[in-house]
Amino acid sequence: MSWRMRVVHTTGYLYDEPVTRSFNEARLTPRADNRQNVILNRVETFPATRSYRYTDYWGTAVTAFDLHAPHTELEVSGSSVVETEPFAEPSTELSWDDLRADRIADRFDEILGPTDYVPRDDTLDAVARQLARGATPSEAVVRAAEWVHREMDYSAGTTSVHTSAPQAFAERRGVCQDYAHLTLVLLRAMGIPSRYVSGYLHPNPAAPIGEVVAGESHAWVEAWTGQWWGYDPTNNLAVNEQHVSVGVGRDYADVPPLKGVFSGGGSTDLAVVVEVTRLA
């Protein structure tokens, strides 16, 4: 079943002192792929800026802009209409021996190796070996996500965007970013190419048409077991029409919705509002 959704993601900054200049990147444009069709997207700023778009190394659309006039506030808004479908069931399944072949290791080297957020961990390596025992690669992906869902408690505010997977696991608490990172540790320890996905999730699988609901940025994983497919460990379900994907990468550091640098100014107040509407 396909959905059509509108997503509006607005981020506002207030500065204690005027910022004299800033340079920014926004990753607020949904991906266009075999699961999603982007009908409309625009990224706007206040104060108004001249922006340009490019596609980054991982295939994510980036809107870059800069401000060179003093300003005490900045608002960035991404508005999109996108049609989504569930991932098709994996029709191509490689064996463990196939996945461990040199050609696969070379092709997916960057999403098999450790990162700051997804480091190697002896304890989690042992868990990964246990979960993979007796399973096909696709079954192991689901087992890993289910294990993370079972072991972790969802608790906002207990971790930050800088928390690594082992740090979150030590507390057994975290948010979707931590669930995704922890699942990636397990999958990469198994030798399954896997990547971090940022986007949005409509919270209601029976959403009425036209109702605007509060949403938030979300994260899940995609695994390659002969083809790419997605699983959401936070909610313990396969990625479906409720998910809108925006960016992919090795971990969160590759896909933040907004990042930039500025000169001048003082401390900042930040407000983020995400609204999601099912249109059809």
pLDDT, tens digit (0-9, with 9 covering 90-100), for 73-88: 999 999 999 999 998 8
Q: In which residue ranges of the chain is pLDDT below 50?
A: none
* pTM, 2 dp: 0.96
CA distance 129 to 189: 8
CA distance 235 to 238: 9
| 3 state DSSP class of 103 | helix
Q: Which residues contact 137 (CB under 8 A, 6 or more apart)?
A: 93, 94, 95, 96, 99, 190, 192, 223, 225
Q: What is the pLDDT of residue 268?
A: 79
Rounded to whole angstroms, the maximal C-alpha distance in the chain is: 61
Q: What is the pLDDT of residue 1?
A: 85
CA distance 54 to 178: 28
Residues in the chain: 280
Stretch (H or E) spanning 102: helix 102-107
Which domains occur in the chain, in start order? 3-85+256-278 (2.60.40.2250), 96-254 (3.10.620.30)
Q: What is the pLDDT of residue 93?
A: 87
pLDDT, tens digit (0-9, with 9 covering 90-100), for 116-151: 999 999 999 999 999 999 999 999 999 999 999 999
Q: What is the pLDDT of residue 269?
A: 80
CA distance 134 to 69: 61
Q: What is the pLDDT of residue 226?
A: 95
Give the residue ranges of DSSP H helices in 108-175: 122-132, 137-151, 165-171
At how many degrees (to 10) do helices 122-132 and 176-190 cross?
A: 70
Q: What is the pLDDT of residue 88?
A: 80
Among 122, 121, 154, smallest CA distance to 235 is for 154
Please calculate the CA angle 231-233-236 and round it to the nearest 5 degrees: 85
In three-state form (DSSP H/G/I as H, E/B as E, the rest C), the secondary structure along 253-279 is: HHCCCEEEEEEECCCEEEEEEEEEEEC
Average per-residue pLDDT in the chain? 95
Structure-block tokens of residue 70: 């003093």
CB 81 within 8 A of CB 279: yes
